[in-house]
A and B are shown apart, each in its own frame.
Chain A
């Protein structure tokens, strides 16, 4: 987590910037045309300035490929999405008529049309996150604690616990589709136990979303495990040793040392998992492939996909995309804030 988690913190500032600021200050206080006393090897301020602008040219050249690609595939399309969301578009994605904010008011049911399916889909997405995130985190903490066990072949077990990161959501969905398939008797016991009227868990409005959520927890497990384990491993060992001397048992040291010190990691995981729940698409498209029984699995991204790819309503789909972006942006900002705090206070 340490590599890029503190891009805005002061310590991450490249020190050559700081140095150059110093140089400038020196230049301003020294008499014009005279060598600044602190810069010995390059005595000339104008030389330094020239070199900085020379660097600018090179830097621009080095950054050019990335800047061009980001401009073409991130920034331009992003503003284009916002633009399109205010227009009615034709089949080819050309704007036909200005539509004001009508798409937004429809999504949020502010236009009085009584069409609540879009609000419903936001609710389904929230519900999905509520099912996936807490249980996913609890499971990964349990697995990570288990993986700190001091036994000989713990590396093998860690690889096993990590394995789901290597399995794509698409492949996992194909497998889980069969696990939930009624003709294979893997989950019929559960269907019977719940007295469902339908044949399979994915076909019933009450169980379809939990079934997808459960499968999602599995696909995210490897990643959550890695993050949690690295968080636990970052806790200084001597804390445990001294608590042991003070007579703390395993549960106590977990409750009063591991858990509090793991909180930043878990908060981070909480935000990241929530964001990825809001972006989940593959499992819904493979396992359900429509809006689900009674619309019970119609998450925002799937609705976006339907409007965009199936109905080619680019303007409306863009409005959904912008709403989704706002949600993810808020979560991302919260995450940066939390990480920032962690950097400063830990």
Chain B
């Protein structure tokens, strides 16, 4: 019996040693993968702190890091702050707009029983099938030529206030909420709009959060439309601004990288704070492509 216990002990120590080795191996692999994935970010940070040099190296001299490029980027491009404000105004407006229009439409589709519902369902579904290239030229003509909305917030915001993805995301969530709740509320004399506002929406916070994070991220990172619809520097959003900044500071690598890192901060923070919502939104919204 004692022999048996002993061999068990031996077994478990070798097992533990193997397990520890396996763990260390996994950590090494994970760290290598992380370094590769993060390489572009390290690269930009490294260039940003090397001062204004025409031949920066891959790694900075850690004894004399030069962080002045960050305030300098704001001095060199007075509109940098304005671009960030623009991006925030546009992204917040679009996010709020999509939350409102999507929850209203999703409520009708998910909860109300009305004739012709399937037709409306198909109309909303069709919006997911039409890629932006197929609409961008007439939209540009409408906004820029007919409405004269170039260089304005409304030109950047209004075309994106409704989202097919948002409608389907919220509809799916609304449908998980028991219909008895609706029936009971209506019998108790609760109006349809009040039911949406005071019962359905508070219960749907996770889905609303998902849509909010997703919409904000997508809008903040837009490039094509703001490029078309903004001419003057002060109306640019961060993404268009930063590519323009790159051309004006073509040889000043540290400023380019500092500026790029600055405009990346909001979305990186969003990733860290709202990762769960973001992941949910992306796995659901993947459909839109």
Please name the residue on chain A nearest to B289 by beta carbon.
A275
Residues on the A chain within 8 Å of B127, using CB = 70, 74-75
Residues on the A chain within 8 Å of B289, using CB = 272, 275-276, 279, 332
Contact B268 A167 (CB under 8 A): yes
- How far is B166's CA from A70's CA once the two chains are assembled, in angstroms? 13
Contact A80 B138 (CB under 8 A): yes
Residues on the A chain within 8 Å of B111, using CB = 16
Contact B134 A15 (CB under 8 A): no
Interface string of A317-343 (1 = CB under 8 A from B): 110011011001100100100000000
Cβ contact of B271, chosen from A163, A169, A170, A178, cutoff 8 A: A163
Interface residues on A, range: 35 or more
Contact B130 A171 (CB under 8 A): no
Q: From B8-16, B65-73, B171-179, give the one contacting chain A.
A: B171-179
Cβ contact of A309, chosen from B125, B159, B228, B283, cutoff 8 A: B228
Residues on the A chain within 8 Å of B117, using CB = 14, 17, 59
Interface residues on B, range: 35 or more
Residues on the B chain within 8 Å of A81, using CB = 134-135, 137-138
Residues on the A chain within 8 Å of B154, using CB = none
Residue from A14, A66, A178, A276 with most neighbouring chain B CB atoms (10 Å): A66
Contact B30 A157 (CB under 8 A): yes
For residue A57, give the distance in angstroms from its CB to the closest CB of chain B: 8
- How far is B169's CA from A223's CA once the two chains are assembled, in angstroms? 18
Whether B52 sits at the interface, judged by CB under 8 Å, is no
Q: Provided the pairs A55-B113, A167-B267 are in contact, do residues A70 and B137 lie with their beta carbons within 8 angstroms? A: no
For residue A306, give the distance in angstroms from its CB to the closest CB of chain B: 13
- How far is B130's CA from A4's CA once the two chains are assembled, in angstroms? 17
- How far is B29's CA from A143's CA once the two chains are assembled, in angstroms? 10
For residue B76, give the distance in angstroms from its CB to the closest CB of chain A: 15
Whether A98 sits at the interface, judged by CB under 8 Å, is no
Interface string of A145-187 (1 = CB under 8 A from B): 0110101001001011111111111111111111100011110
Residues on the A chain within 8 Å of B40, using CB = 172, 175-176, 179, 218
- How far is B270's CA from A93's CA once the two chains are assembled, in angstroms? 40
Name A20-62 residues within 8 Å CB distance of B: 20, 52-53, 55-56, 58-60, 62
Cβ contact of B284, chosen from A3, A177, A221, A314, cutoff 8 A: A3
Interface string of B41-85 (1 = CB under 8 A from A): 101100100000011111000000000000000000000000000
Contact B37 A170 (CB under 8 A): no
Residues on the B chain within 8 Å of A226, using CB = 279, 282-283
Whether A19 sits at the interface, judged by CB under 8 Å, is yes
Residues on the B chain within 8 Å of A163, using CB = 37-38, 41, 268, 271
Cβ contact of B33, chosen from A16, A161, A185, A279, cutoff 8 A: A161
Whether A96 sits at the interface, judged by CB under 8 Å, is no
Whether B181 sits at the interface, judged by CB under 8 Å, is no
Interface of A is mostly: helix
Please name the residue on chain B nearest to A230 by beta carbon.
B283
Contact A166 B286 (CB under 8 A): no
Residue from A92, A163, A318, A332 with most neighbouring chain B CB atoms (10 Å): A163
- How far is B46's CA from A236's CA once the two chains are assembled, in angstroms? 43
Residue from A3, A55, A67 with most neighbouring chain B CB atoms (10 Å): A3
Contact B285 A4 (CB under 8 A): yes
Contact A175 B282 (CB under 8 A): no
Contact B270 A56 (CB under 8 A): no
Interface string of A266-303 (1 = CB under 8 A from B): 00100010011001011001100000000000000100
Name B87-118 residues within 8 Å CB distance of A: 100-102, 104-105, 107-118
Contact A149 B30 (CB under 8 A): yes
Contact A59 B108 (CB under 8 A): yes
Whether A7 sits at the interface, judged by CB under 8 Å, is yes
Please name the residue on chain B nearest to A79 by beta carbon.
B138
Contact B239 A168 (CB under 8 A): yes
Residues on the A chain within 8 Å of B114, using CB = 52-53, 55-56, 58-59
Residues on the A chain within 8 Å of B153, using CB = none
Cβ contact of A178, chosen from B43, B121, B270, cutoff 8 A: B43
Q: Provided the pairs A166-B217, A168-B221, A175-B257 are in contact, do residues A66 and B29 lie with their beta carbons within 8 angstroms? A: no
Q: Provided the pairs A53-B114, A162-B279, A325-B131 are in contact, do residues A4 and B33 lie with their beta carbons within 8 angstroms? A: no
Residues on the B chain within 8 Å of A154, using CB = 30
Residues on the B chain within 8 Å of A194, using CB = none
Contact A170 B242 (CB under 8 A): yes
Whether B253 sits at the interface, judged by CB under 8 Å, is yes
- How far is B209's CA from A311's CA once the two chains are assembled, in angstroms? 42
Please name the residue on chain A nearest to B241 by beta carbon.
A170
Known contacts A62-B105, A184-B253; 12 additional CB pairs below 8 A are A58-B112, A59-B109, A63-B104, A66-B104, A77-B137, A78-B135, A93-B141, A160-B37, A166-B278, A170-B240, A223-B282, A281-B224
Q: Which 8 A-B pairs have the closest CB atoms?
A: A3-B284, A168-B221, A77-B138, A69-B162, A166-B271, A59-B108, A80-B138, A170-B239
Name 26 interchain pairs, CB-CB below 8 A, sorted by A: A1-B286, A2-B284, A3-B283, A4-B172, A16-B112, A17-B117, A19-B113, A55-B113, A62-B112, A76-B138, A78-B135, A146-B33, A163-B41, A163-B271, A164-B37, A165-B278, A166-B270, A175-B41, A177-B246, A178-B257, A227-B286, A317-B137, A318-B137, A322-B134, A325-B133, A329-B129
Interface residues of B (CB under 8 A from A): 23, 26-27, 29-30, 33-34, 37-38, 40-41, 43-44, 47, 54-58, 100-102, 104-105, 107-118, 120-121, 123-142, 145, 158-159, 161-162, 164-165, 167-169, 172-173, 175, 179, 192-193, 196, 217, 220-221, 223-224, 227-228, 239-240, 242-243, 246, 253, 256-257, 260, 263-264, 267-268, 270-272, 275, 278-280, 282-287, 289
